[in-house]
């Protein structure tokens, strides 16, 4: 069985019929922004038991860009059975681009990986500029950041993410 792939406009029409919206992103992402009425059920926690759907139900799955839902189609279909599964094309980004409203809580911190990207980018840019303008020893900073990112990619362990996770603005977010 293949899921129905629907545009945000098609999904809005379904929303009026009372379908169930499932946001498969991480809970922190959902807390920061989601479609009104959507349930947070991260992909790792998604099972038929967690959904509790009937055969006449329709469930709309979405993520941030549509990539996670596309990659997990088989799992989503299996978890939704016997209900009808709909994958929203383009995810939350397409929903917003089409002009539809979301519930936003700006008090929630940015997702941890975005924080890592901001800090890493700032350190690389700052270290490069300081190396060019002040002292070549500052070139150690972007080299260190690059080595850390390489290690994180190979090992799956990111020291910067671990450090950012214990910062005060991230403590109450989980």
Catalytic residues: 63
Total Cβ atoms within 10 A of residue 138 = 16
- Element holding 10 (H helix, E strand): helix 8-15
Q: Judge whether 96 and 110 are in contact, CB under 8 Å.
A: no
Q: Judge whether 144 and 126 are in contact, CB under 8 Å.
A: no
State how far the Cα of 32 lies from the Cα of 85, in Å rounded to an integer: 25
Query: What number of CA atoms fall less than 13 Å from residue 150's CA on the CB side?
Result: 6
What residue spans of 72-139 are helical by DSSP H? Answer: 73-80, 91-97, 112-133
């Amino acid at each position: 069985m293949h899921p129905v792939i629907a545009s945000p406009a098609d999904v809005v029409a379904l929303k009026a019929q009372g379908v169930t919206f499932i946001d498969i992103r991480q809970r922190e992402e959902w807390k920061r922004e989601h479609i009104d009425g959507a349930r947070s059920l991260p992909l790792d926690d998604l099972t038929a038991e967690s959904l509790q759907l009937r055969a006449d139900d329709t469930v709309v799955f979405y993520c941030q860009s549509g990539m996670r839902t596309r990659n997990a189609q088989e799992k989503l279909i299996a978890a939704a059975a016997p209900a009808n599964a709909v994958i929203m094309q383009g995810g939350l980004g397409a929903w917003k681009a089409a002009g539809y409203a979301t519930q936003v809580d700006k008090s929630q911190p940015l997702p941890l990986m975005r924080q890592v990207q901001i800090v890493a980018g700032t350190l690389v840019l700052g270290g490069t500029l300081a190396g060019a303008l002040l002292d070549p020893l500052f070139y150690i900073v972007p080299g260190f950041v690059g080595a850390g990112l390489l290690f994180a990619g190979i090992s799956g362990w990111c020291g910067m993410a671990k450090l950012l996770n214990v910062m005060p603005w991230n403590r109450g977010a989980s």
